[in-house]
Amino acid sequence: EPYKTAMGASISRGGRKDMADPGLYFEINARGGHVAGGVYMPSKEQLADIRAWIADHHYECMEALNDPMFIKVFGSLRGERNKVLPSEFRDIAKQIPLIANKQFYYWGDISKTDLLSANAADRILAMHHAATPVRTMLRQALE
């Protein structure tokens, strides 16, 4: 059995090593693949900026996360959560649990059939475009 069973690519403003820009990530494996994006490894400062933005822009955050196309393609924003939060975010975390995340990413599956079709690139881009409201929200938080 081969050691590596998937191949992935990341496209972002900061290049392939930028784990904070919510660009486009896609992966292909024998069963199909995945399309993803978001902020996977924010620095301590970037994490504080995202949390502060979420606290100050709760309505815009919920509007982006409840976008029908985003939900259809990705379901929800994912990420590991901190068990202990900085004191300034503890009360608001009861209303906005997302603020406890230390990662903010989305991940959707793409079928083998779609990947082998002539319009595979169009399908990947359509999935990427479905995340536009969330990607925009994360970029605003990091500005």
Distance CA 22, CA 37 (A): 5
Give the global pTM.
0.88
Distance of CA 81 to the CA centre of its chain: 14
Q: How many other CB atoms sit within 10 Å of the CB of residue 60?
A: 16
Which pLDDT belongs to residue 18? 67
List, for residues 38-90, the tens digit of each pLDDT value: 998 899 999 999 999 999 999 999 999 999 999 999 999 999 999 888 888 88
Pairing of strands 104-111, 32-39: antiparallel
What is the mean predicted confidence (pLDDT) over 95-104?
93
Question: How many residues are recorded in the chain?
Answer: 143
Strand, coil or helix: 45: helix
Residue 136 in this model has a pLDDT that exceeds 80: yes
* Locus of tokens 């649990």: 97
Q: How far apart are CA 122 and CA 118, in angstroms?
A: 9
Closest CA to 83 of 69, 101, 65, 109: 101
| pLDDT exceeds cutoff 70 at 114 | yes
Which of 103, 123, 110, 117 has its CA nearest to residue 27? 110
pLDDT for the residue numbered 16:
65
Average pLDDT over residues 2-31: 82
Sheet containing 24-29: give its strands across. 6-11, 24-29, 32-39, 104-111
Say which residue, 82 or 3, is predicted with more confidence.
82
Cα separation, 17 vs 11, whole angstroms: 9
Residue 9 has pLDDT above 90, yes or no: no
